[in-house]
Amino acid sequence: MRSQPSRPKTFALHWGSGVIAEEVQITSRYHRPTIQLLKFTAGEARGTYEIRFCYYDHNGRFQRGPLIIGEEDLPALRKALAKAPRLKTLLSGL
């Protein structure tokens, strides 16, 4: 399991850019499912937060495509969310 690194990751989307405020990631058989709390610091979305469900390959490269999480990986992802309180609170609203 991995939590937020000491130096924030950044992102850029069409409607704004910013930093990853919180991130949880687990390692599964096929990839590294990741949930990120995006904090927009510039652009049209400045001042807002969004949640991104994504994944990385086992070499740490960001992958584009749908996130697919196996049922057997849900307990580890739930446990990882304990290290990301804002993200956990937002997701509890689902």
- Domain residue extents for the chain: 10-91
Its pTM stands at: 0.88
Q: Which residues contact 75 (CB under 8 A, 6 or more apart)?
A: none
Q: Which residues contact 9 (CB under 8 A, 6 or more apart)?
A: 19, 20, 23
- Measured between alpha carbons, how far apart are the two ends of the chain, in Å? 23
Q: What is the pLDDT of residue 2?
A: 54
Whether residue 1 is predicted with pLDDT greater than 60 in this model: the reply is no
Taking only the tens place, the pLDDT of each residue in 43-62 is 999 999 999 999 999 999 99
Type of residue found at 83:
K
